Amino acid sequence: MKRLIFIILSIATAFTAFANPPKLNVESLFDGRYNNNKSVTISIYKNNGNYYRGITIKNNPQIIKKIAEAIEKDAPKASDYSDHQCADGQYTSLQIINNGETIFIGLQRDKHDGGFFFIQGKEKAFK
């Protein structure tokens, strides 16, 4: 009987952990702190079960640095991570699995202290 109770509690705990939102550091970048910053353009779209958020940055290395730091904090959660430097800039991407769906995260940095950051996936992945 004790074994059955233990198994039921273990399964309930596993389902609860599986249903938790991913709590990504990069999500905090959309808390409104850049809404009035003239070097930033923010885009947020929800359409047909898809969720997309993007930030375009012009001439602001401090914001690029904050985004890169948030990505690095989320990197251990990633099922796939890549970082590529070339003559045009640097490209970093992550894929994080949550609720059986993939969250795609990317940062493109250019040589002029600007860049483009995005987080995208099915809405289910963020729940």
CATH of the domain at 69: 3.30.160
> Do residues 26 and 70 touch, judged by C-beta distance below 8 A?
yes
Specify if 59 maps to a domain: yes
Q: Report the domain count for the chain.
A: 1
Q: What are phi and psi of 99, to 5 degrees?
A: 55, 35
pLDDT at residue 4, as a whole number: 45
Which residue type does 115 have? G
Specify if 97 maps to a domain: yes
Q: Tell whether the model's pLDDT for residue 36 goes beyond 70.
A: yes
**Domain of 113, in residue numbers:** 22-126
pLDDT at residue 13, as a whole number: 47
Can you read off the two tokens belonging to residue 107?
Answer: 């940062």
pTM, rounded to two decimals: 0.79
Specify if 9 maps to a domain: no
> Do residues 22 and 98 touch, judged by C-beta distance below 8 A?
yes
Q: How far is the C-alpha of 20 from the C-alpha of 39, rounded, in Å?
A: 34
The CA-based diameter of the chain, rounded to the nearest angstrom, is 66
Q: Tell whether the model's pLDDT for residue 63 goes beyond 80.
A: yes
> Do residues 113 and 126 touch, judged by C-beta distance below 8 A?
no
What CA–CA distances, in Å, run from 119 to 6, 46, 86, 94?
A: 38, 12, 22, 9
